[in-house]
């Protein structure tokens, strides 16, 4: 959710400044990927590079839980169980965030939303005038992410919780990839490799979408 610092914003948009696109053009990217695919880290790097806010719905929910806000109290149990927060809650949260000045001006890297078909349809409707330039599927095979998640051993990364979240991803989120593929905006990026290698692939793919 943390927007790039204004000072970093202009400095980190060399590709846009040097290219044919004007500096006021925004960059709008949606990133999919299994838990453990490195999506959060890569989205933060993409956001810094292109000078746009990183809108992570998981991060927004975790901050709300830490603040013990109304949203946080409603979301806490769902996150603990590894389930999904209600569509209507998530849709109004994202609608509000994308309506903020920084996102309206610069665009966004959307990380963790949409996660269900109703969320995708709502996002289509709210961005109909200015749809995402690029929808990226950061592809890391399931067995590779399970290995990664088990080796980092966070408290909520039990074997069961990991498989539950991955099953949920396959069941609810993977079909969205078909939704965007059908619209021709999907780009599959190989997420296996060093963080720098993966970032270079993502940067190149997004730059190509913007060209
Ligand atoms: P993440 O950091 O993206 O893995 O999100 C952490 C948790 O927040 C998820 O396991 C869900 O419980 C919840 N969450 C984040 N984004 C969404 C969403 N778009 N829809 C429903 N729940 C979400």
Residue 72: burial class (beta carbons within 10 Å; 0-12, 13-18, 19+): middle
| Torsion from C-alpha of 197, 187, 145, 51, nearest 10 degrees | 60
Which atom number of ligand 1 is nearest to the Cα of residue 40?
2
What's the CA-to-centroid distance between 143 and ligand 1, angstroms? Answer: 21
What's the CA-to-centroid distance between 101 and ligand 1, angstroms? Answer: 24
Res 78 pLDDT > 50: yes
pLDDT at 156: 66
Mean pLDDT throughout 120-145? 95
Instruction: For residue 82, name the pLDDT band (cuts at 50, 70, 90).
Output: confident
Res 2 pLDDT > 60: no
- Contact criterion met (CB below 8 Å) for 71 and 64: yes
pLDDT at 161: 82
Closest among 59, 126, 65, 43 to 92, alpha carbons compared: 126
Residue 25, CA distances (Å) to 16, 19, 118 in order? 8, 11, 28
Instruction: For residue 18, name the pLDDT band (cuts at 50, 70, 90).
Output: very low
Superfamily of domain 6-210 in CATH is: P-loop containing nucleotide triphosphate hydrolases (3.40.50.300)
Model confidence pLDDT, tens digit, residues 150-195? 888 876 678 888 898 899 899 988 889 999 999 888 999 999 999 9
**Contact residues of ligand 1, CB 6 A cut-off:** 35, 57-58, 61, 78-79, 82-85, 90, 112-113, 115, 119
Closest among 180, 75, 169, 67 to 120, alpha carbons compared: 180
Q: How much is the pTM?
A: 0.87
Domain boundaries, the chain: 6-210
Which runs of consecutive H residues, i.e. helices, occur in 32-141?
39-50, 57-67, 70-81, 87-98, 101-106, 117-126
pLDDT at 165: 86
- Contact criterion met (CB below 8 Å) for 110 and 132: yes
What's the CA-to-centroid distance between 60 and ligand 1, angstroms? Answer: 9
Mean pLDDT throughout 107-125? 96
């Amino acid at each position: 959710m943390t927007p790039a610092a204004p000072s970093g914003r202009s400095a980190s948009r060399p590709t846009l400044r040097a290219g044919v696109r004007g500096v006021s053009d925004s960059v709008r990217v949606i990133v999919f990927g299994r838990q453990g695919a490195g999506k959060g880290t890569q989205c933060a790097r993409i956001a810094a590079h292109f000078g746009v806010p990183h809108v992570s719905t998981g991060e927004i929910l975790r901050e709300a839980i830490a603040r013990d806000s109304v949203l946080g109290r409603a979301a806490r149990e769902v996150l603990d169980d590894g389930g999904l927060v209600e569509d209507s809650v998530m849709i109004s949260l994202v609608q509000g965030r994308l309506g903020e000045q920084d996102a309206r001006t610069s665009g966004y890297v959307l990380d963790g939303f949409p996660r269900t078909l109703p969320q995708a349809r709502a996002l289509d409707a709210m961005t109909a005038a200015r749809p995402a330039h690029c929808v990226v599927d950061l592809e890391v095979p399931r067995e590779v992410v399970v290995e990664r998640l088990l080796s980092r051993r966070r408290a909520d990364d039990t074997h069961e919780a990991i498989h539950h979240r991955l099953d949920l991803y396959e069941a609810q989120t993977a079909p969205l990839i078909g939704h965007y593929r059908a619209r021709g905006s999907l780009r599959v990026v190989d997420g296996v490799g060093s963080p720098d290698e993966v970032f270079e692939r993502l940067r190149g793919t997004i730059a190509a979408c913007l060209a």
